[in-house]
Amino acid sequence: MVTKACAKDLALPLEKSASGERRGEGNLWQRRYWEHAIRDERDFVHHCEYIHSNPVKHGLVKNPRDWAYSSVHRYLRE
């Protein structure tokens, strides 16, 4: 639902891998996810930085602050 509702705003690429097509996957969410319990404050910061850097890593923006949908804005205010 999110992928279909936000695809235009997020300018998602239309192409998918052949395996993704076979599985009926979209192009927003990763195929597998992993669960991780946050161990401490340092671990929390590490994961936030990872999440905030993803739009940069994938070439969507040059700076995490440029990603309008990011929690980095709230994170920096606090």
Q: Do residues 64 and 72 lie in contact, with contact meaning Cβ atoms separated by under 8 Å?
A: yes
Predicted local distance difference test score (pLDDT) of residue 32: 66
Report the catalytic residues: 69
The Cα-based distances of 6 to 2, 9, 28, 64, 69 in angstroms read: 6, 5, 10, 19, 11
Tell me, what's the pLDDT at 33? Answer: 65
What local confidence, expressed as pLDDT, does residue 48 receive? 92
Q: How far is CA 14 from the centre of its chain?
A: 17
Residues lower than pLDDT 70 in the chain: 1-4, 7, 11-14, 26-34
Q: Are 20 and 31 in contact (CB under 8 A)?
A: yes
